[in-house]
Amino acid sequence: MRFKLMITTIAATALFTGAAGAQDSTLKKIKDTGVITIGHRESSSPFSYYDDKQQVVGYAMDLCMKIVDAVKKELKNDKIEVKLQPVTSATRIPLIANGTVDLECGSTTNNLDRQKQVAFTITHFVTANRFVSKKSANIKKLEDLKGKTVVSTSGTTNIKQITEFNTEKNLGLTIIPGKDHAEGFLMVETGRAAAFVMDDIILYSLVANSKEPKDFEISAEAFSVEPYGIMLRKDDPDFKKVVDTTMIDIYKSGEINNIYDKWFMKPIPPKGVSLNLPMGDSFKKVVAKPTDSGDPKDYQ
Protein backbone atom coordinates (compact mmCIF):
# COMPACT_ATOMS: atom_id res chain seq x y z
CA MET A 1 0.00 0.00 0.00
CA ARG A 2 1.36 3.44 -0.95
CA PHE A 3 0.23 6.87 0.16
CA LYS A 4 0.86 10.17 -1.59
CA LEU A 5 2.62 12.69 0.58
CA MET A 6 0.47 15.51 1.89
CA ILE A 7 2.46 18.03 3.88
CA THR A 8 0.73 20.15 6.50
CA THR A 9 2.27 23.32 7.84
CA ILE A 10 2.88 23.55 11.56
CA ALA A 11 3.65 26.79 13.32
CA ALA A 12 6.77 26.52 15.42
CA THR A 13 4.82 27.46 18.51
CA ALA A 14 2.41 24.57 18.05
CA LEU A 15 4.89 22.20 19.64
CA PHE A 16 4.54 24.01 22.92
CA THR A 17 1.27 25.96 22.89
CA GLY A 18 -1.02 23.21 21.60
CA ALA A 19 -3.01 22.88 18.42
CA ALA A 20 -6.47 24.24 17.90
CA GLY A 21 -9.13 21.89 19.20
CA ALA A 22 -6.65 19.91 21.27
CA GLN A 23 -9.11 19.83 24.18
CA ASP A 24 -11.71 17.96 22.11
CA SER A 25 -11.66 14.18 21.91
CA THR A 26 -9.81 12.90 18.85
CA LEU A 27 -12.94 11.35 17.35
CA LYS A 28 -14.85 14.63 17.74
CA LYS A 29 -12.01 16.60 16.19
CA ILE A 30 -11.86 14.23 13.22
CA LYS A 31 -15.65 14.33 12.83
CA ASP A 32 -15.78 18.14 12.97
CA THR A 33 -12.83 18.75 10.63
CA GLY A 34 -13.25 15.79 8.30
CA VAL A 35 -9.48 15.20 8.60
CA ILE A 36 -7.28 12.66 10.38
CA THR A 37 -3.59 13.52 10.62
CA ILE A 38 -1.02 10.74 10.51
CA GLY A 39 2.50 11.40 11.77
CA HIS A 40 5.13 9.47 9.86
CA ARG A 41 8.90 9.12 9.77
CA GLU A 42 11.08 9.91 6.78
CA SER A 43 13.70 7.15 7.07
CA SER A 44 12.52 4.46 9.52
CA SER A 45 12.45 1.57 7.06
CA PRO A 46 10.57 -0.76 6.98
CA PHE A 47 8.11 0.91 9.37
CA SER A 48 7.55 4.37 7.94
CA TYR A 49 9.67 6.01 5.25
CA TYR A 50 9.80 7.60 1.80
CA ASP A 51 10.21 5.27 -1.15
CA ASP A 52 11.93 6.25 -4.40
CA LYS A 53 8.78 8.08 -5.53
CA GLN A 54 8.61 10.15 -2.33
CA GLN A 55 5.53 8.25 -1.21
CA VAL A 56 5.14 7.28 2.44
CA VAL A 57 5.20 3.50 2.83
CA GLY A 58 5.89 0.93 5.52
CA TYR A 59 4.67 -1.70 7.94
CA ALA A 60 3.43 0.81 10.52
CA MET A 61 1.77 2.84 7.77
CA ASP A 62 -0.20 -0.20 6.60
CA LEU A 63 -1.41 -0.78 10.16
CA CYS A 64 -2.31 2.88 10.59
CA MET A 65 -4.38 2.88 7.42
CA LYS A 66 -6.34 -0.07 8.79
CA ILE A 67 -7.05 2.11 11.83
CA VAL A 68 -8.09 4.98 9.54
CA ASP A 69 -10.60 2.67 7.85
CA ALA A 70 -12.00 1.76 11.28
CA VAL A 71 -12.30 5.43 12.25
CA LYS A 72 -14.20 6.14 9.03
CA LYS A 73 -16.56 3.29 9.85
CA GLU A 74 -16.99 4.46 13.43
CA LEU A 75 -17.85 7.99 12.30
CA LYS A 76 -19.90 6.75 9.32
CA ASN A 77 -17.90 8.95 6.96
CA ASP A 78 -15.79 7.35 4.24
CA LYS A 79 -14.75 10.77 2.91
CA ILE A 80 -12.47 11.63 5.84
CA GLU A 81 -9.26 13.10 4.47
CA VAL A 82 -5.90 11.66 5.48
CA LYS A 83 -3.13 14.21 5.96
CA LEU A 84 0.43 12.98 6.32
CA GLN A 85 2.73 14.94 8.61
CA PRO A 86 6.46 14.18 8.81
CA VAL A 87 7.70 13.92 12.40
CA THR A 88 11.11 13.38 13.95
CA SER A 89 12.23 11.64 17.12
CA ALA A 90 12.20 15.05 18.82
CA THR A 91 8.82 16.31 17.59
CA ARG A 92 6.67 13.15 17.56
CA ILE A 93 5.64 13.16 21.25
CA PRO A 94 4.84 16.92 21.50
CA LEU A 95 2.79 16.80 18.30
CA ILE A 96 0.72 13.89 19.61
CA ALA A 97 0.36 15.45 23.06
CA ASN A 98 -0.96 18.77 21.75
CA GLY A 99 -3.38 17.20 19.26
CA THR A 100 -1.65 18.29 16.06
CA VAL A 101 -1.10 14.65 15.04
CA ASP A 102 -3.76 12.01 15.72
CA LEU A 103 -1.69 8.85 15.18
CA GLU A 104 2.10 8.51 15.00
CA CYS A 105 2.99 5.62 12.75
CA GLY A 106 6.64 4.68 12.90
CA SER A 107 9.18 2.91 15.10
CA THR A 108 8.47 4.44 18.51
CA THR A 109 9.31 2.57 21.69
CA ASN A 110 6.47 2.23 24.17
CA ASN A 111 7.86 2.64 27.68
CA LEU A 112 6.53 3.62 31.09
CA ASP A 113 8.17 7.04 31.00
CA ARG A 114 6.57 7.99 27.69
CA GLN A 115 3.19 6.72 28.88
CA LYS A 116 3.15 9.70 31.25
CA GLN A 117 2.84 11.95 28.17
CA VAL A 118 1.09 9.89 25.49
CA ALA A 119 -0.77 6.62 24.99
CA PHE A 120 0.15 3.63 22.85
CA THR A 121 -1.95 1.06 21.08
CA ILE A 122 -1.19 -2.66 20.93
CA THR A 123 2.52 -3.39 20.38
CA HIS A 124 3.25 -4.01 16.69
CA PHE A 125 6.91 -5.07 16.90
CA VAL A 126 9.52 -6.04 19.50
CA THR A 127 13.15 -5.13 18.91
CA ALA A 128 16.35 -4.57 20.94
CA ASN A 129 18.95 -1.81 21.27
CA ARG A 130 22.27 -2.70 19.57
CA PHE A 131 24.96 -0.98 17.53
CA VAL A 132 26.31 -1.28 14.00
CA SER A 133 29.95 -0.77 13.09
CA LYS A 134 32.31 -1.62 10.25
CA LYS A 135 33.61 -5.19 10.36
CA SER A 136 37.11 -3.89 9.75
CA ALA A 137 36.96 -2.02 13.09
CA ASN A 138 36.54 -5.35 14.95
CA ILE A 139 34.17 -3.87 17.55
CA LYS A 140 32.34 -6.72 19.26
CA LYS A 141 31.07 -5.33 22.54
CA LEU A 142 30.29 -2.03 24.22
CA GLU A 143 33.66 -1.85 25.96
CA ASP A 144 35.40 -1.97 22.57
CA LEU A 145 33.96 1.49 21.89
CA LYS A 146 35.84 3.09 24.78
CA GLY A 147 37.13 6.54 23.83
CA LYS A 148 35.50 6.45 20.39
CA THR A 149 32.83 8.57 18.70
CA VAL A 150 29.37 7.06 18.44
CA VAL A 151 26.12 8.40 17.02
CA SER A 152 22.49 7.79 17.92
CA THR A 153 19.31 9.50 16.77
CA SER A 154 18.26 12.55 18.74
CA GLY A 155 15.18 12.14 20.92
CA THR A 156 15.29 8.33 21.10
CA THR A 157 15.52 5.92 24.01
CA ASN A 158 18.73 4.67 22.39
CA ILE A 159 20.69 7.89 22.79
CA LYS A 160 19.46 8.19 26.37
CA GLN A 161 20.64 4.67 27.15
CA ILE A 162 24.09 4.99 25.54
CA THR A 163 24.57 8.27 27.43
CA GLU A 164 23.76 6.50 30.70
CA PHE A 165 26.12 3.63 29.86
CA ASN A 166 28.86 6.11 29.01
CA THR A 167 28.64 7.57 32.51
CA GLU A 168 28.14 4.30 34.38
CA LYS A 169 30.98 2.45 32.64
CA ASN A 170 33.31 5.45 32.24
CA LEU A 171 33.66 4.77 28.51
CA GLY A 172 34.77 8.26 27.51
CA LEU A 173 32.55 8.23 24.44
CA THR A 174 31.89 11.22 22.24
CA ILE A 175 28.16 10.91 21.55
CA ILE A 176 26.73 12.73 18.54
CA PRO A 177 22.95 13.18 18.17
CA GLY A 178 21.90 12.47 14.57
CA LYS A 179 18.83 14.13 13.10
CA ASP A 180 17.49 10.81 11.81
CA HIS A 181 18.47 7.17 11.30
CA ALA A 182 19.79 7.73 7.79
CA GLU A 183 22.23 10.37 9.01
CA GLY A 184 23.37 8.15 11.89
CA PHE A 185 24.21 5.25 9.60
CA LEU A 186 25.88 7.56 7.08
CA MET A 187 28.28 8.74 9.80
CA VAL A 188 29.45 5.15 10.32
CA GLU A 189 29.54 4.52 6.58
CA THR A 190 31.80 7.56 6.05
CA GLY A 191 34.01 6.93 9.09
CA ARG A 192 32.83 9.92 11.14
CA ALA A 193 31.59 7.61 13.90
CA ALA A 194 32.72 4.18 15.02
CA ALA A 195 29.21 2.95 15.71
CA PHE A 196 25.54 3.84 15.35
CA VAL A 197 23.42 2.85 18.36
CA MET A 198 19.83 2.07 17.42
CA ASP A 199 17.07 -0.57 17.47
CA ASP A 200 18.32 -3.66 15.69
CA ILE A 201 15.50 -3.84 13.14
CA ILE A 202 16.37 -0.32 11.96
CA LEU A 203 20.03 -1.35 11.73
CA TYR A 204 19.21 -4.52 9.74
CA SER A 205 17.25 -2.44 7.24
CA LEU A 206 19.95 0.21 6.88
CA VAL A 207 22.65 -2.42 6.34
CA ALA A 208 20.53 -4.40 3.86
CA ASN A 209 19.97 -1.26 1.78
CA SER A 210 23.55 0.02 1.97
CA LYS A 211 26.02 -0.06 -0.93
CA GLU A 212 28.16 -2.75 0.73
CA PRO A 213 26.12 -4.71 3.31
CA LYS A 214 29.02 -7.13 3.91
CA ASP A 215 31.14 -4.27 5.29
CA PHE A 216 29.00 -3.91 8.42
CA GLU A 217 28.37 -5.87 11.58
CA ILE A 218 25.55 -5.55 14.11
CA SER A 219 26.46 -6.30 17.71
CA ALA A 220 25.39 -9.64 19.15
CA GLU A 221 25.12 -7.90 22.49
CA ALA A 222 21.67 -6.35 23.12
CA PHE A 223 21.20 -3.58 25.69
CA SER A 224 17.41 -3.54 26.10
CA VAL A 225 14.03 -4.81 24.88
CA GLU A 226 12.10 -2.22 22.83
CA PRO A 227 8.36 -2.76 22.16
CA TYR A 228 7.08 -0.53 19.35
CA GLY A 229 3.62 1.02 19.44
CA ILE A 230 1.54 3.48 17.45
CA MET A 231 1.18 6.64 19.53
CA LEU A 232 -2.06 8.48 20.24
CA ARG A 233 -3.18 11.11 22.70
CA LYS A 234 -3.33 10.23 26.40
CA ASP A 235 -6.65 10.10 28.27
CA ASP A 236 -8.80 9.64 25.16
CA PRO A 237 -10.56 6.31 25.88
CA ASP A 238 -13.08 6.44 23.02
CA PHE A 239 -10.41 6.86 20.36
CA LYS A 240 -8.11 4.33 22.01
CA LYS A 241 -10.93 1.77 22.04
CA VAL A 242 -11.35 2.08 18.27
CA VAL A 243 -7.60 1.88 17.69
CA ASP A 244 -7.00 -1.05 20.06
CA THR A 245 -9.99 -3.01 18.77
CA THR A 246 -8.71 -2.62 15.21
CA MET A 247 -5.24 -3.86 16.12
CA ILE A 248 -6.60 -6.82 18.08
CA ASP A 249 -8.86 -7.77 15.16
CA ILE A 250 -5.86 -7.68 12.80
CA TYR A 251 -4.00 -10.06 15.12
CA LYS A 252 -6.86 -12.41 15.90
CA SER A 253 -7.90 -12.73 12.24
CA GLY A 254 -4.38 -13.64 11.17
CA GLU A 255 -4.21 -10.62 8.86
CA ILE A 256 -1.07 -9.51 10.68
CA ASN A 257 0.84 -12.42 9.12
CA ASN A 258 0.37 -11.12 5.58
CA ILE A 259 1.22 -7.55 6.58
CA TYR A 260 4.32 -8.72 8.45
CA ASP A 261 5.52 -10.93 5.58
CA LYS A 262 5.06 -8.08 3.11
CA TRP A 263 7.58 -5.88 4.94
CA PHE A 264 9.95 -8.33 6.63
CA MET A 265 10.05 -11.39 4.39
CA LYS A 266 9.53 -10.04 0.86
CA PRO A 267 11.38 -7.47 -1.28
CA ILE A 268 10.51 -3.91 -0.27
CA PRO A 269 11.10 -0.51 -1.88
CA PRO A 270 13.14 1.32 -2.87
CA LYS A 271 15.75 -1.32 -3.83
CA GLY A 272 13.67 -4.48 -3.72
CA VAL A 273 15.78 -5.87 -0.86
CA SER A 274 14.27 -8.46 1.50
CA LEU A 275 15.13 -8.30 5.20
CA ASN A 276 14.35 -12.03 5.59
CA LEU A 277 13.42 -11.52 9.23
CA PRO A 278 10.86 -14.07 10.49
CA MET A 279 8.51 -13.02 13.26
CA GLY A 280 10.30 -13.34 16.60
CA ASP A 281 9.01 -15.24 19.62
CA SER A 282 8.40 -12.04 21.63
CA PHE A 283 6.11 -10.62 18.97
CA LYS A 284 4.39 -13.95 18.42
CA LYS A 285 3.38 -13.78 22.09
CA VAL A 286 1.91 -10.33 21.52
CA VAL A 287 -0.08 -11.57 18.52
CA ALA A 288 -1.44 -14.45 20.62
CA LYS A 289 -2.11 -12.22 23.63
CA PRO A 290 -2.25 -8.55 22.58
CA THR A 291 -0.83 -6.00 25.00
CA ASP A 292 0.01 -2.30 25.10
CA SER A 293 2.39 -2.71 28.03
CA GLY A 294 5.34 -0.36 28.29
CA ASP A 295 7.20 -2.67 30.68
CA PRO A 296 10.00 -4.55 28.86
CA LYS A 297 9.65 -7.43 31.34
CA ASP A 298 6.33 -8.31 29.71
CA TYR A 299 8.14 -9.13 26.47
CA GLN A 300 10.86 -11.41 27.83
In this structure, what DSSP letter does residue 3 have? B
- Sequence-ordered alpha helix ranges (H) in the chain: 14-17, 26-33, 59-75, 92-97, 157-168, 181-189, 200-208, 237-252, 255-264, 281-288
d(CA 186, CA 189): 5
Domain ranges of the chain: 14-124+229-299, 128-224
pLDDT of res. 195 = 98
73: confidence class by pLDDT, cuts 50, 70, 90: very high
| 3 state SS of 152 | strand
CATH number of 14-124+229-299: 3.40.190.10
CATH number of 128-224: 3.40.190.10
Of residues 16, 125, 1, 118, the one with CA closest to residue 51: 1
pLDDT of res. 6 = 42
Domain 128-224 in the same topology as domain 14-124+229-299: yes
182: confidence class by pLDDT, cuts 50, 70, 90: very high
What one-letter code names the amino acid at 12?
Answer: A
What number of CA atoms fall less than 13 Å from residue 263's CA on the CB side?
A: 27
13: confidence class by pLDDT, cuts 50, 70, 90: very low
Query: How does DSSP assign 96-147, residue by residue?
Result: HHTTS-SEEES--B--TTGGGTEEE-S--EEEEEEEEEEGGG---SGGGGTT
Inter-CA distances, 280 with 22, 124, 247, 276, 300, Å: 38, 12, 18, 12, 11
| 3 state SS of 273 | strand
Mean pLDDT over 168-188 rounds to 97
pLDDT of res. 23 = 54
